[in-house]
A and B are shown apart, each in its own frame.
Chain A
């Protein structure tokens, strides 16, 4: 395949085995990374998954609008339902479109750390507000 014979000049790989194109294909430089699978069948299978996810996202979008218009829920429940549907949609985008399901531990670690700080940022200021309002 043409893309494998054209490579940038090999950078100093600090002594680690230089991955040849052929080796890359099968060993992926020693790392199991489904994203490096080049076989057309694998990719076509992935495309089918993408289209399935697209369908689910469209359905869920309709569902979230419908939930709001069809049912007259009290605000607390309405917020919960909306956020749950949003979380499901977000998970679909993240796991399949962004390949988070097959990502590396390093990326998971960065995201976990961010999630913790995000939680503090969301919770603490409003908790301060609630605390004051309660008095």
Chain B
């Protein structure tokens, strides 16, 4: 008896006649849904401004954060002009007001304001919202096969807490007295007696911390509860592990800073003395407060957050780089399990290293030794992750596209940043290096050519997913190479400056000190020129980005050959390109059958098998996307 032929629709094999009926039903339901949709179309405000869709919120976070990053960078350009050519008049300086830069020469008080705000904006308004709020929000539900975040309205609230927080902080630019100017670290007693801008900073922080807390609860519940069938923890893309650990860090480490902010607000507004010691003299006059406070209390509470915070800055970046490396080497990540164990261990350890920022506060030897030990231990998981990523390159068929260039650059840059952290973690070496430019060089290497490069990599990599267009490769390479050269030009000399003893937060870059004068004069102008070069290098990126984003909004999508141009295995590529906003993410809820990086599986028909594919047959030419035809049955 001849076997009737069967055809495959989605995951199901059926006879041709049944397939025909299925298609008919699908077409009917699709029409009905479309009609239903037109009836219930959300108004503009609900759809694009106060949306509860994680993809819209992710894009909102992304756009806002990128604007803040550019702003924070611009503040730094002004500072670098002053550092490179101290006391010179620059007409661009007048942008920040005549009071702050009379005749175009930056005043020291204004320099401090720029410094404090640069750090605050970059960390709290730029990187964390971009890495977690934007990339995390957009990708995590897609990568685990979830329809949205667990608490969509809470997600919206998170974004709308972040924006006012940022605006409150920035509004202080426009008031007399200016912004916060006690560093992003806001150490008392100085911050307690600082101008009004500090109060704005504290209030803004309360909003930002609230936004962060709501977001972290959402992420953790989503990742644990809403993963698709078959998506076990060890099948998560590494990016999801990174985001999960990051969310725990945000959840448990931020509240002490919130408490500290409340205490500092009380000091400033209710005249308490939590951080003010007895008998404090300000400008020759005794401050008439009750006293009995302890400035170190602030430092303990602040760094309890701020150290896990730096891991919040790096972990999503590692996640992004891992995804891109696996994809562009066409092989699974080496040591996936070790990497997962390492980031979990890293997250845990990050809570017990904070006082390595306080080695010079007169801590006893026992406590110093404790924190030095934990700090040395915490370098191990970082090395494990970095090594695993390096080894993942071995034997790969490497594709040198723009995302991969940024991801590859991340590796040595983060390596330099991490290695330069080691002397800082040793109490004795830190005696010489604390509060010098060495520290600035160290953390900028990790965050700037580290995290920010990973962010760029992510933008280039997922842009086609979001918009249906690829960013221009040539200009992407221009952006990459010029940025790479300039960024090293800015930050590498800082190690030399720091070793020579140039202190940080100096308005003139150190030329007032005999020991620092010559190295400062030799390096600062060069570094400032590189900073301007780095700014210039962003121009092709901005043009590339906006051109393609606007083209996509105008409907010129799908100019790429299929909807998964990188031939990636993870689930976000199985959703439709530019997943229709305010819709469910997948036409058919995916079921996960395999790990996240089934590239070049021996014996398979192609060099990649998506996570939701059961067999090793070649993915359909539609790019491994779940078929658009699926019978939707409403269940009431």
Contacts and interface: CB of A to CB of B under 8 A. Distances in A.
A14 B591 contact: yes
A1 interface: no
Interface string A108-135: 0000011001001100110111011011
Interface string A1-16: 0000000011110111
B351 A15 contact: no
Contact of A125 (B297, B362, B591): B297
B355 A128 contact: yes
Nearest to A11: B147
B351 A14 contact: no
Given A124-B367, A128-B367, A10 B635 contact: yes
Contacts of B229: 14-16
Contacts of B589: 12, 14-15
Contacts of A134: 364
B517 interface: no
Contacts of A11: 147
B363 A128 contact: yes
A135 B634 CA distance: 73
B228 A14 contact: yes
A121 B304 contact: yes
A106 interface: yes
A132 B364 contact: yes
A127 B635 contact: no
A120 B355 contact: no
Contacts of A120: 351-352
A117 B351 contact: yes
Given A113-B252, A121-B256, A127 B367 contact: yes
B84 interface: no
Nearest to A118: B252
Chain A facing B: main interface SS:
helix
Interface residues of B, number: 28
B578 interface: no
Interface centre among A16, A125, A127, A129 (most CB of B within 10 A): A125
B355 A124 contact: yes
- Residue among A16, A129, A135 with max Cβ neighbours from chain B (10 Å): A129
Nearest to B299: A125
A75 B252 CA distance: 32
B364 A128 contact: yes
A128 B357 CA distance: 14
B296 interface: yes
Contacts of B297: 125
Contacts of B281: none
A15 B635 contact: no
Contact of B364 (A10, A15, A117, A131): A131
B300 A125 contact: yes
Contacts of A9: 634-636
Contacts of B300: 124-125, 128
Interface in B268-310: 294, 296-297, 300-301, 304
Interface string B217-231: 000000010001100
Given A106-B224, A132-B363, A134-B364, A117 B252 contact: yes
5 contacts: A11-B147, A14-B145, A125-B300, A128-B300, A134-B364
Interface of A: 9-12, 14-16, 106, 113-114, 117, 120-121, 124-125, 127-129, 131-132, 134-135
Interface of B: 145, 147, 224, 228-229, 248, 252, 256, 294, 296-297, 300-301, 304, 348, 351-352, 355, 362-364, 366-367, 589, 591, 634-636
